[in-house]
């Protein structure tokens, strides 16, 4: 008798896996300057749900290299209880632009500080002193042991 219920539940779960899941109905909390929309379903301790469910809809679908502001990411991961305010986001965005401007100015001031091209080929391997062998029994200067 127990096998029928196991097989029945397996079949039921298999068939349910083909159904299109309904989008959770959450409250729209806000949207950011990129165009992402943030949603939340509040916690329900009486129903056994201790934490709120939070997610966002990206501005451009299928963009998996999506960036979101750090304040919104903290809210999504439940590191902060309240969503960020417009003032916080504007201050963070202004700081980001200032850092980009300062980095560009520093690059113009000292362009040789960072290499422009990555080193390729044999030159990219580490160089060792004479105490190491290049091949078994051969020293770097070509002499045998």
Question: What pLDDT sits at residue 113?
Answer: 58
pLDDT (mean) for 1-11: 76
pLDDT band at 48 (very low <50, low <70, confident <90, very high): confident
pLDDT tens for residues 96-137? Answer: 999 999 999 988 887 665 556 677 777 777 777 777 777 777
Question: What pLDDT sits at residue 75?
Answer: 94
Report the largest interatomic distance among the alpha carbons of the chain, rounded to a whole angstrom: 81
Report the number of secondary-structure helices (H) and strands (E) in the chain: 3, 3
Picking from 35, 31, 41, 42, the residue whose alpha carbon sits closest to that of residue 86 is: 31
- Residue 52 contacts residue 78 (beta carbons within 8 Å): yes
């Amino acid at each position: 008798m127990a096998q029928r219920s196991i097989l029945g539940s397996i079949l039921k779960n298999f068939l349910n896996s083909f159904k299109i899941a309904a989008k959770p109905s959450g409250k729209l909390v806000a949207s950011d300057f990129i165009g992402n929309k943030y949603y939340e379903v509040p916690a329900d301790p009486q129903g056994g749900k201790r934490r709120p469910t939070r997610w966002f809809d990206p501005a451009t679908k299928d963009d998996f290299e999506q960036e979101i502001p750090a304040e919104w990411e903290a809210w999504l991961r439940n590191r902060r209880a309240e969503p960020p305010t417009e003032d916080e986001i504007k201050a963070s965005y202004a700081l980001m632009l200032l850092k980009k401007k300062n980095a560009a100015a520093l690059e113009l001031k000292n362009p040789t500080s960072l290499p422009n091209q990555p080193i390729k080929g044999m030159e990219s391997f580490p160089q060792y002193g004479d105490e190491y062998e290049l091949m078994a029994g051969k020293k770097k200067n070509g002499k045998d042991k």
